[in-house]
Structures are given as structure tokens and as C-alpha cells.
Chains A and B, each alone.
Chain A
Amino acid sequence: MASNQIEMILSRQLADCLSIPVFLTDPEGNLLFYNEPAEELLGKRYEETGRMPVSEWSTIFKPVDETGSPLAPEELPLVKTLSQQQPAHGTFWIESLTGIRNKISVTAYPIIGRPDRFLGAVAIFWKTVEP
């Protein structure tokens, strides 16, 4: 079993301590870890799923804009971060498996270890409360 590099291990450990939803992915977007608050968004427990390929977890969400039109993957902050290796931020709506639509803000940032090794990305989700 190959182990993760220290930057990813520490990112996971931080996520594990936070009470906001956090995803941790590898450079290809495969979901390496998600914390307990993120389990609520995904409707799945990390202990049950373990790692999730991008092809699997990306189908769980249906991201849409304010008019309800589906968003192209390249418009999503995490996808931008993975493709451009830069931080990205965006607000959109998602429908969970249970059909509930939530407005969320996502901030994603790349994990670039010493010396300039692109190792993956972190995405922080924030449920936006409508006024």
C-alpha cells in the first residue's frame, strides 16, 4: 500500500479537525478524503467509501447556476484549481442525492509541496444562508 506524502497527510489531519466540509483530492481529482461535515453533503460516510474516483463522486452532485441550468465542470472551483493549479472560488447550487438544493460557496486551493510538487487540492464548502 503506497502511503500519501506528508503534505497530503497534514492536509487530511487538518480537515479531520474542522467543522466545515472539506474535500481532499489528488491531482486527477480523485477524492482521497472527506471529513465528517462533508459526509453530510455527499450522503456517504468516508469509513464506508474510502477513496472515491472522480468519475464516481462527481456524479453525486448536480451543480447548477441561479437559473437552475447545469454548470460545466470547468466552471467549478475545484476543477479550476486542479487544471490551473491556482486557488479558485465560486458560489452555485447543488442538489444532493436526497434532492435537496443548497446554495454553497466553494473555495479550493492547490497543494504544492516543496519544491513545486503539485500534489492535489483542498476544497472547502460553505453552505450559504439565503437572506
Chain B
Amino acid sequence: MKITIWGTRGSLPAPSPENNQYGGNTSCVQVTYKDTMLILDAGSGIRRLGSDFPPDLRRIDILLTHLHMDHIMGLGFFLPLYNPALEINIWGPTSTREPLINRLQRYLSPPLFPIRLQDLPSQPNIIELNHSSFSIGSLQIQSAYVCHPGPTVGYRIESPDAVLTYIPDHEPALGAANFPNEPEWTSGYELAKDADLLLHDAQYTPDEYTPRVGWGHSSIEDALRFAEMAAVKRLLFFHHDPSHTDEYLHHLMERALHNKTYAFKTGIAAEGDSIVLP
């Protein structure tokens, strides 16, 4: 399984000379395994992915975790959506009342965007999911709602020899008196358990998190605690705050890891990274 990262930023694109190493585009991750390709989220990073596409690919599956703007803002700029020869499936979480297609249309329609979703030449299929297990090609996928405002899922993607868990927006510590000591009472645990690679929300420092409890994001330290509880093999901090420069992200990671030893590898997800699992 090959994972390529096209966008790591949370909340808002943050292109700047200070962010060159980790990137300024919002969430987008490409997963390829044999002849199957998935795209996790359609943040601004998906635009570049769309112009660097295997020409012989006939099917694309875009798995959205939720519909906050930073995770869908790139959809309208994803060139394959304008190719009628492609089969494109857009998967996303079910809401209580409004169908996923209607919620996507709020963005993909005037005045926010000139082209309507239903007028896109590829005529994408819109598929709702919740606590679901399904397969795409040779990949087995599990989705589950996780702790984040609004309908939001995380994904566990399994090939026969590797597991990737993707929970870019997640606040597992919310209100939990005993986090991270009760896995069965922790949001996202089932998705992340024993994963070879976990891409997890690490937007805040502890000081930034305190006044933002309930906003749906984690501190770097809570991401480490969650990864340790889930016994993952590798953690990449993801969904970087737009105000965190490369230099500051280095500083935060060093501070979080100072005098601590973890059984798993850690790192900061960077736009352009490619990782092969296992």
C-alpha cells in the first residue's frame, strides 16, 4: 500500500515561505494498492493530485471524512471530475436529515462555485456511509463516526499486509475523565487499533487546546496518547494549524517528545511525502 500526502494543513490553506517543508494545502491523501486508488478528503491538496494522474485509471473513489470546507474545498478544482470517461465515487458521512448530495451541492453551486455538482461531466456517484464496512478493489475499508462537530467519520483501510488509519479531525479527549486509559470508551480506537500508520489530528499545543475544547481537534500530546493506546506502529501528526510554521512544528514535536520514549515511530506529515506500507 502506497500513501502519498498532498495536503496536511488544517482549517485553511496556509501557503507561505515559512511553511514550505510541511506544506500549505489542506487535507488530501492518496492511497494506491495494485490497481486500486483512493483519495482521502478533497482539501486544496487534491488540485495538484488531479493534474498528476495515472492516465489509464478508470475509477476514482474519494472518501470524505466530513464536509467542513478544508476537506472539500478542492473538489471543484479536481480535473478528473470534468472527464466523462471516468467513474468517480464520492463517499461521505450520513447526516440525520439532509442527504449527502444536498450538502455537497451547497458548496458546488452558485454563488460559492460556478459549476453545479449535477452538471459535472463525470456525473459522480454520491454514496453515504456511517459505521460501514465495504471494499474497494482489494482494499477493505471500515468507517466509523468519531468525535468532531457534525457528522464526521474516520477510516481504517486494510490491504492483506498493511493497515492505514486516517482520522484527520478528531478530539478523543473531549470530556473523557480517564483518557487514554479506557480504549473501549475512546472515540476512534477501533479504527486505529494496531495500525501500521496512523494519520491523526495534532492541530494544537496543550495551551492552544485548552480554550478550544469542543472544537473537534487534538493537541500533539493527545495524539501521542491516542496512538500509544491504540498500539500503532507509526504516527504522523496531521492537520497542522495554519499558524504553525515549519520551524514551530519542529519545536512542538521536540517538546512533545522530550524525555519520552514511545514504542512507535513519530513524525510530522509533510506535503509530498510518500510512504510504502508495510
List residues of chain A with CB under 8 Å of any chain B CB: 1-7, 9-10, 12-14, 16-17, 33, 113-115, 117
Contact = CB atoms under 8 A, between A and B. Distances in A.
A6 B175 contact: no
A33 B184 CA distance: 12
A6 B144 contact: yes
Given A17-B175, A114-B94, A114-B95, A6 B130 contact: no
Contacts, number: 56
A46 to B, nearest CB: 11
Interface in B79-122: 93-96
A3 B183 contact: yes
A12 B94 CA distance: 23
A106 to B, nearest CB: 24
Interface string B114-146: 000000000000001011000000000000111
Nearest to B96: A114
Interface in B137-194: 144-147, 151, 174-177, 183-187, 189-190
Contacts of B174: 10, 13
Nearest to A15: B175
B176 A13 contact: yes
B184 A4 contact: yes
A16 B145 contact: no
Given A6-B145, A6-B187, A117 B175 contact: no
B131 A117 contact: yes
Interface of B: 93-96, 128, 130-131, 144-147, 151, 174-177, 183-187, 189-190
Contacts of B176: 9, 13, 16
Nearest to A115: B94
A2 B190 contact: yes
B interface secondary structure, majority: loop
B183 A1 contact: yes
A14 B147 contact: no
A114 B97 CA distance: 9
B186 A115 contact: no
Which 7 A-B pairs rank lowest in CB-CB distance, beginning with the nearest?
A: A13-B175, A3-B189, A3-B190, A6-B145, A3-B184, A115-B94, A1-B184
Contact of B175 (A1, A14, A33, A115): A14
B177 A16 contact: yes
5 contacts: A1-B183, A1-B184, A6-B187, A9-B147, A13-B175
| Most chain B CB inside 10 Å of its own CB: which residue of A3, A4, A13 | A3
Contacts of B175: 10, 13-14, 16-17
A3 B183 CA distance: 7
A13 to B, nearest CB: 4
B121 to A, nearest CB: 30
A25 to B, nearest CB: 15
A9 to B, nearest CB: 5
Given A10-B175, A114-B130, A115-B96, 15 more contacts: A3-B184, A3-B189, A4-B185, A6-B146, A7-B145, A9-B147, A9-B176, A9-B186, A12-B185, A13-B174, A16-B175, A16-B176, A16-B177, A114-B96, A115-B128
Contacts of B151: 114
A1 B94 CA distance: 26
Contacts of A9: 147, 176, 185-187
Nearest to A7: B145
Contacts of A5: 131, 144-145
A62 to B, nearest CB: 30
Nearest to A51: B184
A16 B94 CA distance: 28
B130 A10 contact: no
B96 A3 contact: no
Contacts of A12: 185
